[in-house]
Structure 1
Amino acid sequence: METNLKHQHQRIRRAIALLLAAPALAMAQSSVTIYGLLDTGLVHTTNVNAAGDSVTKMPSLTGSFPSRIGFRGAEDLGGGLQAIFTLETGLGVDTGGMGQNRLFGRQASVGLKGSFGEIAFGRQINMTYLATQKSDVMGPNLFSISSIDLYLPNARSDNSIFYFGRFNDVVAGATYSTGRDTSAAGGPAGTNCPGEVAGNAKACRQVTGLLGYETKPFGVTASYDILYGNTGAANGLSSSDNSDKRLTLNGYVMVGAGRIGGGVVDRSTRAATGLQESDLYYLGVSYPVHPLLTLDTQVARKNVKGSDADATLLVARLTYYLSKRTAIHGSLGRMKNSGASAIALDAGGTVGVGKTQNGVVAGLRHSF
């Protein structure tokens, strides 16, 4: 009897030890990271209206990078398989306002990751966003090709299925959205096309794809992106027969410590107002002139076919790193508009029709 009681007590102690260890074991198999970036400053631009007035302001959309806070997690499921999620919200440091007109406007997705690549579901970046990541040396800077095509830094899709894989040096991916943009707030992040309409599967659908070859010395990517409209959608895409298509070809090459990147974005928009076609060419250089100082320069040209509404961008940026997380940056830019073109130098800004706009921005960036 005494021996049996002793064995029972041992089993109970082992059970209690396992119960107490369970939370620690669960934590060891999963992780959640909180991260963010804050970037703001002051910008001065000329010719913001037909009268040729200038303005000094604190930018809302971006500095050298858009501000954001996010949560990223992964759980080890065994056999090389992971469950993953991302929740990321944009914010305006100038006012504390929320970006992309929603709580998690930059990303909200859950998926699986393994040797096959990554598959996820939700609101997430698409292949157009990924295609220029290494070739566009300015990225989503306040003065950049993002000013010429506001969709590029906002290339995200609601209601989307995402796949991306890397196989040695070959990268491939695709997204499919049943309703590309549920927000009606306006701007590139709110175009009022929720889709998922019974009897019209084409309404607000979006398909993107990417194929590339990337190594450390050089790389090239090509992407395809077509999005459809529906009743009430912005930018003249008021029918599911209307579409906006972009084809991109992008590349980069390392020259010593520097990087040269460039590409072309071919765009064809079939809107209610008719067909408009354009090409956007860009070329840039990024070079660390000092271990703590990087110089980025870029030239870009938008050519609207059958029109004189063209634009040319010149921009240079210096970034000085106070630490791995904190940097100060300054940019000089010039946007030359021709004919009826009215593309602002600063993303989200304004300019008088056909006017050349000059600008300067200085800011501070901190990531965590």
Structure 2
Amino acid sequence: MTKKICRALALLACVDAANAMAQSQVTVYGLLDTGLVHTTNANAAGSSVTRMPSLTGSLPSRLGFRGVEDLGGGLQAVFTLETGILLDSGGVSQGNRLFGRQASVGLKGDFGTVTLGRQINMTFISILKSDVMGPNLFSISSIDGYFPNARSDNAVGYLGNFKDVLVGATYSTGRDTSASGGPGATGCPGEVAGNSKACRQVTALLGYERPAFGVNVVYDNLYGNTGAAGGLTSSDNSDRRIGVHGYVKAGATKLGGGIVERTTRAVTGLSESDLYYFGASHPLTPLITLDTQVARRDLKRSDADVTLLVARLTYNLSKRTAVYGGLGKIKNAGLSAIALDAGGTVGAGKTQNGVMTGLRHSF
């Protein structure tokens, strides 16, 4: 009798383990992308440079883990851990964070998805839908490096889709805990006793999406505090972006564009600008895609404006592997010094031309 009871208990344990495995699912995924870039006028002397970029090629490299557990009644537990990889050196990006691209846990149901942790915010989600170049080495990300780094530490997020209406928001009590430098590590950990405004960030999204077209409006306001980058060294300093973005599809061809109004109140004073962009993505053949984009940043009360022209040709060797090449041109007016290649350099007021090529593989 004792042996029979033991066998029954063992069988029940196996059934429970099998059910747990059936209800929990973890996906490992990643993308590796790098190449070479050559740009002119990389310094004040007008010298050219050839290099392997760190931040991105056609897309930033990453390794991720995504999990979901069925809790019953239409409710799921979800998590994402995603690290950015600097393929040229083997390092990690996003301020040297282990899981700098995403590190969140949440609940998902008919109500939408609620997440907690470091996560992409509504600016990232909004622009991703309309920017045909994405976080390419030559793209609007060169003009405003915040776009591909639109993530918030210490954040509570929500995203829901109700009959083609998209609603989302994030609230961060301390938007950026890394101070290692660059747009992904601006040094504003927040969570200061007696100053709840320090390093706070709020983003919100409202959109309407159909397979053939979509439009959304996004609001993003972040505050500073002592030691924060970009002149936001007080909780009274802020950097606000309001954007309208949209896309239209005709078959496999996609047109996308938008405008972003930015107002920065820093210790150095008030800065206001408008960024306009428009692009097209068109498959020339089932394996070859041409992406093009034009953009302009108008810096108010200044002649330091920027105009960008880029094009990229991608040849898909398979569903997971592609080679690509790109051309770009950026014109800096006045004392503007915006480099064509994200993370690169340019002489102030100089026009910069560039060519890039690379290889991408996803898994």
Provide the residue aligned with 1:142 in structure 2.
Answer: 137
3-state SS, counterpart of residue 353 of structure 1 = coil
Q: Cα distance, 1:14 vs. partner?
A: 2.4
Distance (whole Å) between structure 2 residues aligned to residue 29 and residue 81 of structure 1: 12
Distance (whole Å) between structure 2 residues aligned to residue 20 and residue 120 of structure 1: 32
Q: Cα distance, 1:9 vs. partner?
A: 5.5
Provide the residue aligned with 1:76 in structure 2.
Answer: 70
Distance (whole Å) between structure 1 residues aligned to residue 5 and residue 91 of structure 2: 56
Provide the residue aligned with 1:47 in structure 2.
Answer: 41
Instruction: List aligned pairs for 1:67-146, cutoff 5 A.
Output: 67-100=61-94, 101-146=96-141
What is the identity, as a one-letter code, of the residue corresponding to 2:24? S
Q: Cα distance, 1:25 vs. partner?
A: 1.3
What is the identity, as a one-letter code, of the residue corresponding to 1:292? L
TM-score, normalised to structure 2, is 0.99
Distance (whole Å) between structure 2 residues aligned to residue 171 and residue 111 of structure 1: 18
What is the identity, as a one-letter code, of the residue corresponding to 1:303? D
Match status 1:199 vs 2:190? no
Match status 1:38 vs 2:32? yes
- Kindly provide the CA deviation profile for residues 241-269 of structure 1, in whole angstroms up to 9, marking residues without a partner as x: 00000000000001232110000010000
Q: Cα distance, 1:133 vs. partner?
A: 1.4
Q: Cα distance, 1:19 vs. partner?
A: 1.1
Distance (whole Å) between structure 2 residues aligned to residue 341 and residue 265 of structure 1: 19
Between Structure 1 and Structure 2, how many residues are aligned?
A: 362
Distance (whole Å) between structure 2 residues aligned to residue 176 and residue 325 of structure 1: 35
Q: Cα distance, 1:354 vs. partner?
A: 0.3
Distance (whole Å) between structure 1 residues aligned to residue 84 and residue 329 of structure 2: 27
2:280 paired residue among 285, 295, 303: 285
- Kindly provide the CA deviation profile for residues 130-152 of structure 1, in whole angstroms up to 9, marking residues without a partner as x: 01112100000000000000000
Provide the residue aligned with 2:172 in structure 1.
Answer: 177
The RMSD of aligned alpha carbons is 0.9
3-state SS, counterpart of residue 225 of structure 2 = coil
**Identity over aligned pairs, percent:** 72
Bigger radius of gyration: 1
1:14 paired residue among 1, 8, 12: 8
What is the identity, as a one-letter code, of the residue corresponding to 2:85? L
Q: Cα distance, 1:23 vs. partner?
A: 1.8
3-state SS, counterpart of residue 270 of structure 1 = strand
Distance (whole Å) between structure 2 residues aligned to residue 149 and residue 55 of structure 1: 22
Match status 1:167 vs 2:162? yes
Distance (whole Å) between structure 1 residues aligned to residue 197 and residue 128 of structure 2: 29
Distance (whole Å) between structure 2 residues aligned to residue 246 and residue 289 of structure 1: 35
3-state SS, counterpart of residue 32 of structure 2 = strand
Q: Following TM superposition, where does structure 1 have runs of at least 4 consecutive aligned residues deviating by more than 6 angstroms?
A: none
Q: Cα distance, 1:11 vs. partner?
A: 4.5
TM-score, normalised to structure 1, is 0.97
Match status 1:331 vs 2:321? no
What is the identity, as a one-letter code, of the residue corresponding to 1:363? G
- Kindly provide the CA deviation profile for residues 215-245 of structure 1, in whole angstroms up to 9, marking residues without a partner as x: 0010001100000000111000000000000
Distance (whole Å) between structure 2 residues aligned to residue 337 and residue 300 of structure 1: 12
